[in-house]
């Protein structure tokens, strides 16, 4: 379900109107996520680090109401939930998109994500969203790179779907970390919301 945001009472209404005038209204923040417990305890218990990361990203997104908001013209709506749309490598070296509903129960989420991702890897249908829906967050993993910054291809200033990327897991001084980037539309979210997202991701990983 989605709910219309009342611009008369929404605290960010002025910021929404201001940043809508920008030609490049998106900003991206990269931070390092501690995945020590994931790599030392959960992985040995058979949990996929990739799907655990998907789950944590979903938990982070759903912990911040602004990341569930989308605008359509002058109207702003807030979704109760969004699906995670991630790139899935295919055997021919290309990729398709999978669409995974977020479930706060990790066991249920993990099983559903595994099945949907495996199905996407074996189809010839790219399944790209052409703008017919906005109840999504776009995800892309780059396990080859321990990167320090990232931005995404954007179709235009009206696109307000968050993008999340994450990279190679590395170890140093007994800790495992990975870079993660959240890119958002400034008309919808500010730095405080980005910080809350990263806190939500870390909490989800630490409590799996």
Can you give the residue ranges of every domain in the chain? 2-206
**pTM of the predicted model as reported, rounded to 2 decimal places:** 0.96
Whole-number pLDDT of residue 111: 98
Question: What region does 73 belong to: left with phi over 0, alpha with psi -120 to 50, or beta?
Answer: left
Q: Does domain 2-206 have CATH number 3.30.559.10?
A: yes
DSSP state, 31?
Answer: E
Whole-number pLDDT of residue 34: 98
Segment 141-150 shows an average pLDDT of: 96
Checking if the pLDDT of 104 tops 90, the result is yes
Whole-number pLDDT of residue 5: 97
Distances (CA, A) of 98 to 12, 57, 59, 148: 32, 15, 18, 26
């Amino acid at each position: 379900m989605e709910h219309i945001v009342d611009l008369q009472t929404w605290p960010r209404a002025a910021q929404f109107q201001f940043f809508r005038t920008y030609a490049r209204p998106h900003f991206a923040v990269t931070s390092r996520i501690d995945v020590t417990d994931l790599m030392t305890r959960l992985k040995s218990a058979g949990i996929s680090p990739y799907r655990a990361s998907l789950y944590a990203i979903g938990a982070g997104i759903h912990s911040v109401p602004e990341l569930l908001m989308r605008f359509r013209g002058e109207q702003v709506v807030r979704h109760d939930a969004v699906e995670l749309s991630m790139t899935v490598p295919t055997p021919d070296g290309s990729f398709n998109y999978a669409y995974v509903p977020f479930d706060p129960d990790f066991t249920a989420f993990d099983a559903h994500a595994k099945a949907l991702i495996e199905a996407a890897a074996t189809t010839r249908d790219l399944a790209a969203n052409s703008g017919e829906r906005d109840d999504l967050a776009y995800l892309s993993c780059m396990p080859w790179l321990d990167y320090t910054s990232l931005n995404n291809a954007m179709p235009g200033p009206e696109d307000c779907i968050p993008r999340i990327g994450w990279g190679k897991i590395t170890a140093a001084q007994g800790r495992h970390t990975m870079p993660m980037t959240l890119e958002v539309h400034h008309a919808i979210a500010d730095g405080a919301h980005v910080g809350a997202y990263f806190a939500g991701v870390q909490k989800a990983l630490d409590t799996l």
